[in-house]
Amino acid sequence: MTASPPPRRPHPPSRTAHHATPDKDQIALLDPFERLGTDRITLVSTPEQADTACNALAAASAWGFDTESKPTFVQGEESDGPHIVQLATLDTAWVFQLHDPGCRARVAELLALRGVTKAGFGLGDDKKRIQAKLGVVPEGVLELNHVFRQQGYRKEMGVKGAVAVLFNRRFIKSKKAATSNWANPRLTESQLVYAANDAYAAARVYHALGLSASA
């Protein structure tokens, strides 16, 4: 019996060659990406907690960045999100709830802060919603998909593809958590892990691309 050939592994980025974005079948063959556990995730819902998070984040020159909004299911219904803003370093993630005006104000200050890169995937809609809800234009936002485009990946590169390319690992995203109620005052552990790791993976990708050295 002839042995099956090993699965084709995605290639690392190149600034000159053109590469195919890994598909879901390729990614499904990979070992899971190591995610942050709840011991490295901090929920932030008060101004005092936000102040502590701001002090911790100040030590980093780049953050993984993402947002979550309560999904809309009725045609024509507009979201009043984001309801969650996630920021992460290589060690820790902070999940900010935006119910409290004081907490919202501190998140707005963080996102408007110049000199710090906020890196993530699919951030176009996030930026518009943040401007509408928080009244600030996020500064230093880096769409990581654009970086992969510059390095020869023609298709859209989301977090799953990026993790496969750079770490040869499969990034796990819960569909149930993705479509859950992010406006709920009490978030579940599944929601916290989902939200935090989207930002954490973006931080890992940013540093693996060597962008921190060139920033």
Residue range(s) defining the domain that contains residue 138: 24-71+79-214
Q: Is the pLDDT of residue 13 over 60?
A: no
**Would you say residue 18 lies in a domain?**
no
**Would you say residue 172 lies in a domain?**
yes
**Would you say residue 16 lies in a domain?**
no
CB within 8 Å of 72: residues ≥ 6 apart:
78, 79
**Would you say residue 192 lies in a domain?**
yes
The total number of structural domains in the chain stands at 1
CB within 8 Å of 210: residues ≥ 6 apart:
none
**Would you say residue 7 lies in a domain?**
no
CATH number of the domain that residue 32 is part of: 3.30.420.10
Whole-angstrom Cα distance, residue 111 to residue 97? 14
Would you call 46 helix, strand, or coil by DSSP? coil
Residue type, 80: D
pTM: 0.87
**Would you say residue 166 lies in a domain?**
yes
Give residue-wise pLDDT tens across range 59-116: 999 999 999 998 876 676 677 889 999 999 999 999 999 999 999 999 999 999 999 9
- From first CA to last CA, the distance across the chain in angstroms is 53
For the CA atoms of 43, 53, 159, 175, the dihedral, rounded to the nearest 10 degrees, stands at 10
**Would you say residue 9 lies in a domain?**
no
**Would you say residue 13 lies in a domain?**
no
Of 46-60, 134-148, 149-163, the range with the lowest mean pLDDT is 149-163
